[in-house]
Homo-oligomer: A and B are copies of this chain.
Amino acid sequence: MFKELDPLLHSQLRLAVMSLLIGVEEADFVFLKEKTGATAGNLSVQIDKLSEAGYIRVEKTFAGKMPRTLCRITPEGIAAFDAYVKALKSYLNIRK
């Protein structure tokens, strides 16, 4: 009847991050922060979780001496996102 909703994606901020990353080759921390409107702390935590799950890959570089955190979605991340969207539909497509 209802499919499981991947708890890692069923979070407003993490879903927004994935949504952004899926449409783009890569994105840095500042970009994600601006687009999502999240606080830096919250974003940092959620990026870590996505990274630990293998849904994104994070690369910490420097632009000069300022840190630069680059994020990319992984194939597993894309698959998980697609599965999540599919699962969600079991909750939404009830009416004609």
Number of interface residues of A (CB under 8 A): 21
Q: B92 to A23, Cβ gap below 8 A? A: no
> What copy number does this chain have within its complex?
2
Contacts of A15 in B (CB 8 A): 91
| B10 A91 Cβ-Cβ under 8 A | no
Q: Does the CB pair A35–B1 fall under 8 Å? A: yes
Residue in chain B with minimal CB distance to A4: B12
- Residue A74 lies at the interface, judged by CB distance under 8 Å to chain B: no
Taking the complex as formed, is A95 at the interface, i.e. its CB lies under 8 A from any CB of chain B? yes
Most B-side CB within 10 Å, residue of A4, A19, A35: A19
**Contact: B91 with A19, CB < 8 Å?**
yes
Question: Please, how many angstroms separate the alpha-carbon atoms of A36 and B91 in the complex?
Answer: 11
